[in-house]
Chains A and B, each alone.
Chain A
Amino acid sequence: MASFNRLDPSDFVISSDAISATLWSTQTPQLSTFFTSSTQEVGSSGDYYLSVYQTGSTLSNAAVQFDIAYGNALGSGSLVYNSIINGLSPTATIFGQYQDLVLGDENTNFTFGAITSSEFYAISFERARYKNALLLGSLTLQIKGPIAASGSVTLTDNSGYISTVTFTEAGRVFQLVSGSAGTANTSRQASGYTTDSGSYGWLLPDIGTILLNPKALSAPTSSGGIGFVYSGSATGSSVPNISPMATLYQAISGSANFQINSQETITSDYIFIRARSSEFNYSENPSFISGSTGEVLYNSFINSPQTYITTIGLYNDTNELLAVAKLSRPLPKNFTSEALIRIKLDF
């Protein structure tokens, strides 16, 4: 007689499954409405980045979707920290921050395609949105040009077109190319890059970041760009009338088409529970017993007992209940049946 059965090592299976989902709080694949917070923009953090929401920032369901930052090795694009020291400004800080994070070398610039750049725009997704990583091949980012004649450019990553993945200090890196949803537009260049300005940037899925190459975006339409330029003050000596971050924000929100998915790896323990035909056919349930002497409820239960499994308890050696699993409906068990139940434990 026993109420506990030992588990064999072969009853345990560990599995890691990649789960993808929409990244945005709207639970839709495409983010088409964009909002910023004037409080954040004029606050101290506004010198470094601009937070973008899916709805009005003061609404109860507002959540930051991503932040836009601009990095420049020379400090252009923002007011210097101290007027007697030229070149040290928030944009220089941002540039050094990503240099350290992505390149791991303070003397190396970013190389988009074959073009080296000392500036970039960074789109950094909220961690809660992208979970473990950005899903490769899911990006569609449309950026609108400053004038109607410029049109717009739609970007995706080239993960589906390369045979060797490149790694940086921030994990995997993929080039941004013209195209959508992982499919490159190769009508101008086989690589999907601009004609003379390299790729449109980098996708860094493991740190949930996109780096955009300003040179590619500023290229003429005929070369694959959209003539996108930062229109604010070019030096660090005066307060810009518009920040580089706000300039890119307007270009993204104007196109209203930003799609990307998140990816999460869930590690699960599968435990297989086997109840053989001769096991677990009687119950200590008080309704299984008639009277105070322990007699079974029905005479037919003496030779043909019928029980119903509703709960599986997982125990340690000291009989402490560590985990429980409930079936969605009672599972009949008797001397002519066996039960095999797979339990999934997520961590």
Chain B
Amino acid sequence: MGYLDNSIVTVDAILTNKGRQLLAQGNFNITQFALADDEIDYTLYNPTHPSGSSYYGEAIENMPLLEAFPQETQMMKYKLVTLPRGTARLPILDLGYTNIIIKQGASLAITPQTLNYLGGNTYESSGYTATISDVRLFNTFEGVGINTPQAQALNQTTTLGTSVSKTVVGTTINLRATTINTLFGTNTQLTATLTVEGRDSGARLTIPVTVTKIS
């Protein structure tokens, strides 16, 4: 990791780990793009700058940016979105939980809702992408409600290994906490994060997840 030379405007493009995986499988096919403003703190924008509007973004426009990370979960966190001019409120996600505490072996269904979207509060037609940072915490982690081939292909992907993330797509995310005691070791709980993103709106929310041991 290092800072990019900002004396000239250049673009540093790399493949993500997922991109390398798909390239090796012969399934590397870029079809769309999104823009993001990761690293930008808009509180640095100063619309009352005494020198005028040319200086409002002074604290942002010359900042050095970090190089790209190959981990796809660490990039494109905050997407830029296209909304009608005059939008006063941006879409935000409501999962019904600000954090999840679930007992070992218990089940939970999460149905995300997008607020301030398409004139009100609604469920996105393309569904939601949910990523659990450590898939070992759940015996079941699945998305239901979206039946496109692409979504089904993603949901059927088997994630192997230890302490790796898993991503599913659906309008509802079903969870069932692990029943394996050995995962806890001497601890009484396991923690991870759940990141949900609206596939249409780009709205994103990350909440902590805790699985508590019962025996």
Interface residues of A (CB under 8 A from B): 1-7, 271, 273, 275, 278-289, 292-298, 300, 302-303, 305-333, 335, 341-346
A335 → chain B closest CB, angstroms? 6
Decide: A289 and B83 in contact? CB cutoff 8 A.
Answer: no
Tell me which of B11, B81, B88 contacts A326 (CB under 8 A): B11
In the complex, what residue of chain B is closest to A320 when comparing beta carbons? B18
Residues of B within 8 A of A273 (CB): 33, 35
A/B interface sample: 29 pairs, CB < 8 A: A2-B82, A4-B32, A5-B32, A273-B35, A281-B85, A283-B40, A284-B79, A287-B40, A288-B42, A293-B89, A294-B92, A295-B88, A311-B75, A313-B34, A313-B75, A314-B13, A315-B31, A317-B29, A318-B154, A321-B72, A322-B15, A322-B19, A325-B68, A329-B65, A330-B40, A331-B9, A333-B35, A343-B11, A344-B13
Q: Report the stretch among B115-123, B173-181, B184-192 that lies at the interface.
A: B115-123
- Closest approach, in angstroms, between the C-beta of A70 and any C-beta of chain B? 43
In the bound assembly, the distance between CA atoms of A3 and B91 in angstroms comes to: 12
B56 contacts A by Cβ under 8 Å: yes
Chain B nearest CB, measured from A180 CB (Å): 36
Chain B positions within 8 Å of A4 at CB level: 32-34
- Report the Cα distance A322→B39, complex, angstroms: 20
A-binding residues in B (CB < 8 A)? 4-16, 18-19, 22, 27-43, 45, 47, 56-57, 60-69, 72, 75-76, 78-83, 85-92, 115-118, 129, 150-151, 153-154, 169, 199-204
What residues of B have a CB within 8 angstroms of the CB of A307 in the complex? 37, 40, 80
- For A311, the chain B residues whose CB sits under 8 A away are 35-38, 68, 75-76
Q: Are B129 and A319 neighbours in the complex by a CB distance under 8 Å?
A: yes
Residue of B nearest to A300 (CB): B47
Contact B91 A7 (CB under 8 A): no
In the bound complex, how far is the Cα of B23 from the Cα of A345, in angstroms?
A: 13
Q: Are B81 and A294 in contact (CB under 8 A)?
A: no
Interchain Cβ contacts within 8 Å, total number: 275
The listed residue with most B CB atoms (<10 A of its CB), out of A275, A344, A345, is A345
Cβ contact of B76, chosen from A2, A324, A329, cutoff 8 A = A324
Most B C-beta atoms less than 10 A away, residue of A296, A314, A324, A325: A324
Bound-state CA distance A319–B92 (Å) is 20
Q: Known interface pairs A285-B78, A328-B10. Does A322 touch B30 (Cβ–Cβ under 8 Å)? A: yes
Other-chain contact of A318, B75, B115, B150 (Cβ < 8 Å): B150
A283, A284, A343 pick with most chain B CB within 10 angstroms: A284
Contacts of A278 in B (CB 8 A): 82, 85
**Of B5, B62, B82, which one neighbours A1 at CB under 8 angstroms?**
B82
CB nearest to B61 among chain A residues: A330
Q: Are B16 and A283 in contact (CB under 8 A)?
A: no
Whole-angstrom CA separation of A282 from B92 in the bound complex: 13
Q: Which A residue's beta carbon lies closest to that of B39?
A: A310
- CB of A320, distance to nearest CB on chain B (Å): 5
CA A335 to CA B84, docked complex, whole Å: 10
Contacts A1-B91, A335-B85 known; A322 to B28 CB distance under 8 Å?
A: yes
Q: How far is the CA of A285 from the CA of B90 in the complex (A)?
A: 10
Complex Cα distance A302/B84, Å?
Answer: 10
What chain A residues lie within 8 Å of B57 (beta carbons)? 306, 308, 332
- Chain B nearest CB from A66 CB (Å) reads 33
Instruction: Please tell me which one of the listed residues B12, B42, B80 contacts residue A297 in the complex, with CB atoms under 8 A apart.
Output: B42
A308 touching B76 by the CB < 8 A rule? no
**A294-B90, A320-B72, A324-B68 are known contacts. Are A282 and B83 too (CB-CB below 8 A)?**
yes
Check if A313 sits within 8 Å of B76, measured CB to CB: yes
Contact check, A321 vs B19: say whether CB atoms are below 8 A apart.
yes
* Cα–Cα distance between A104 and B40 once the two chains are bound (Å): 62
